[in-house]
Amino acid sequence: MNALIPMLLAALTASLALSLWLRRRCDWLILRNISAEASCAAARDGEASVTRALQLFALELQALGLTLRGHADRLAAEQHRHAPSLATAAAQLGGLADELCHHLLPLSQPHALECEWIELAELVREAVESLATAISPARRHWRIRAENGHPLMLWVDRRALRLLLIRVLGEAARSSSHDDFVEIFWSAQGENVAIHIEDEGSGTARPGAATVTPLDTRGIGLRLSLARSLAQAHGGSLVVEAQARIGTNVTITLPIPPNAG
């Protein structure tokens, strides 16, 4: 019995020591995990800030590319010898901006919409004026019409829808030339509104020309990735159709709220 007591005391001491060590180890692991989580959260915040900055930079590049394209179009109309080189530079700049936007898109957080009631015709005119200024001194003939002629109210994020329209109108300006026509029209179709933006592309088919065939729209779809994601964030869609010698038609479909006026 006398020999058992020291053994029990030794075992108890060892158990207490082991318990203390395990507690300290657990505390260290908890603190380390909290520190790792804090570091990850800080890294995510930093990544989001850099992504937003790069997205703004890409939009500025696209605006500059459109301005260069506008000057190239005007010089081409005047048969200036430097028009082709300026058009090439505009295309390269636009392509760089498109690639940057495309690669940033998967890293972006889901679009947080701040919706309000807006009149579609008013926002379309605002987007057209912004794009027309961007491509000046080149000119497009923008024809805006609504099939039913009545004001159409939508519950959307004004900034997001304006950006969506400008991206699609920019693609129309990119696919057309100085003094070409761009048609913008829309109509209610059940619970949705379909907004069509059509450009002349390389010009309408000449009499007796070969049968019109659909074009590969993957490049256009790539350039409109952001616009498509904005349409989808509103519960809508964006579809691109293109035909040789006819032009491109982009259809944006958006839901109409039941109580829209």
Whether residue 152 sits in one domain with residue 240: yes
Position 121, amino acid:
A
* Structural domain harbouring 249: 115-261
Residues 234 and 152 in one domain: yes
Residues 145, 259, single domain; the answer is yes
CA angle centred on 230, ends 225 and 234, rounded to 5°: 145
| Boundary residue ending a domain (109, 141, 158) | 109
CATH code for position 135: 3.30.565.10
User: Which residue among 78, 109, 140 closes a domain?
Assistant: 109
Task: Give, as one character, the DSSP assignment of residue 81.
Answer: T
In this structure, the strands spanning 247-255 and 192-199 are antiparallel
The pTM (predicted TM-score) of the whole model is 0.68
- Nearest to residue 229, comparing CAs of 124, 107, 110, 123? 110
Asked if residue 82 and residue 123 are part of one domain, the reply reads: no
Q: Are residues 127 and 224 in the same domain?
A: yes
Domain end position, chosen among 84, 109, 134: 109
Regarding whether 220 and 155 lie in a shared domain, the answer is yes
* Integer CA distances (angstroms), 194 to 66, 139, 184, 249, 252, in order: 26, 26, 11, 12, 6
* Closest alpha carbon to 134 in 90, 77, 78, 79: 90
Does residue 125 sit in the same domain as residue 100? no
* Same domain (yes/no): 45, 63: yes
Total domains present in the chain: 2
Instruction: For residues 261 and 170, state if they share a domain.
Output: yes
Residues 6+ positions from 213 with CB-CB distance below 8 Å: 243, 244
Nearest-angstrom CA–CA distance, 250 and 186: 11
From first to last of the 261 residues of the chain, give the pLDDT tens digit: 445 445 545 554 655 565 556 667 776 666 666 666 666 666 666 666 767 777 777 777 777 777 878 888 888 888 888 888 878 877 777 777 776 766 666 544 556 788 999 999 999 999 999 889 888 888 899 999 876 667 889 999 998 899 899 989 988 988 888 899 999 999 888 889 999 999 986 543 333 333 334 444 555 656 788 888 889 999 999 999 877 666 789 999 999 887 655
Contact status, residue 190 vs residue 86, Cβ threshold 8 Å = no
Asked whether residue 256 falls in the same domain as residue 133, the answer is yes
Three-state DSSP class for residue 59: helix
Q: Do 32 and 100 belong to one domain?
A: yes
Same domain, 134 and 255: yes
Rounded CA-CA distance 123/140 in Å is 18
